[in-house]
Amino acid sequence: MANEHFTFPANFLWGTATAAHQVEGNNLNCDFWVLEHTPGSPFVEPSGDACDHYHRYADDIAMLARLGFNSYRFSIEWARVEPEPGEFSRAALDHYRRVLACCHDHKLTPVVTFHHFTSPRWLAGDGGWEDKKTAALFARYCERTAAHLGDLIGIACTINEANLGAYQYLIGTLPLKLDPSRLKWLSEAARRIGADPNRFAPYLMCDQMKARDVMLDAHRLATAALKSSRGKYPVGISLALGDLQAMPGGEARRDRIKAECQDIFYEAARGDDFIGVQTYTRNRISADGTLPPEAGVETTMMRYEFWPEALEATIRQASAVAKVPVIVTESGIGTDQDDRRIEYVARALNGVARCIRDGIDVRGYCYWSLLDNFEWISGYRPTFGLVAVDRATQARTIKPSAEWLGKIARANAMNITD
């Protein structure tokens, strides 16, 4: 293999990513807090204090800057900003203003996500992401938030992995919809917030194809709201993109999945400032469904295949169809072996470099995630972070992978192989 010392474009974003519910702690007013505290739910544990990033953000951001990164992607929690419909919390907005200011103090470009899976209880209990009116409610929240924060936002991502539910349904890892009449825990979660179980529709728990369409509309309306509010910054959407590989006979199924959970979003992004690519692995599609990893291949703590080359494939596809610049808003691995994290990221970055060398406009790479955090249904067991977090003391321990990636970020260059 030929080695090449590759320099990334000037102003390339080197960042890590977090999501509010996964790191802030005590996000009491959101739908997922209710779900994870309902007996019988699939969550292995509640989020609790998470990484206490709500209070420790200044130290975490300073650490990120010291490591050599120049960007930080984080989300604003809708349930904190609008705890009741139409009631906006100045205190919550001021908190996020301090987070943004801290990023600027450390010369980090803040990449702000307005929705990262969690929603206010009141929204989820009244039709949530199945209801068309949610698109306008989301846009209102974005407009009010940007009016307070927009002058400090560096880049905005409306919705995180807006296609995820449709993607997981189409590849067979989620049902079309969870049925509260057959799932006592889901019905009980609705009851706990005084909602009709048939109207209780948190993201990823609702009708995935209805949610897909509402998310598309919400992105469109939110983009217009952000563009018309305070500040000027690029606006885009992030997508969950597996490298869909057809096995013999699986071409038609692969193409249908691609059309319904990827292409429809690429086409919607054509007028945007960028598209956020979030890729972790490949999916092998046969005529009969999605195949599991082959026996004996390396898998991650999330049980999917160790396949960092997927990122190059999805960048190329997103760029070719959406025809807008790409930011890798998430790429990473859940592993307890930090040398495998370095290997995974090195190979993923090789793919990013090849894309740039071929003329594709890739503007940044955000590793998921900064901290070992709350990984939804799986709790704190999968460790994606560049930084370990002691669950008892909240002490942070920088892993070798963080130093390694920070050195690349500082140099804006690395050795790649073909």
The residues assigned a catalytic role are 161
Q: How far is CA 105 from CA 58, 91, 100, 111, 150, in A?
A: 10, 21, 9, 15, 16
Q: Helix 400-411 crosses helix 338-357 at what angle (to 10 degrees)?
A: 20
Helix H, strand E, coil C: the string for 99-117 is HHHHHHHCCCEEEEEEECC
Count of positions (residues) in the chain: 418
8 Å CB contact between 127 and 138: no
Which residues lie closer than 8 Å to 374 by C-beta, 6 or more apart? 21, 22, 23, 47, 50, 51, 380
Beta bridge partners of residue 72, listed in sequence order: 16, 110
Token couple for 53 = 């990033």
Token couple for 292 = 């599991």
For residue 394, which phi and psi values (nearest 5 degrees)? 70, 10
Instruction: Note the helical H segments in 310-399.
Output: 310-322, 338-357
**What is the DSSP code string of 264-323?**
HHHHHGGGSSEEEEE---EEEE-SSSEEPPPTT--B-TTSSB--TTHHHHHHHHHHHHH-
DSSP run (H or E) holding 230: none
**What is the DSSP code string of 158-194?**
EETTTTHHHHHHHHTSS-S---TTT-HHHHHHHHHTT
8 Å CB contact between 58 and 100: no
Q: Count of CB atoms within 10 A of residue 44's CB?
A: 13
CA atoms within 13 A on the CB side of 39: 0
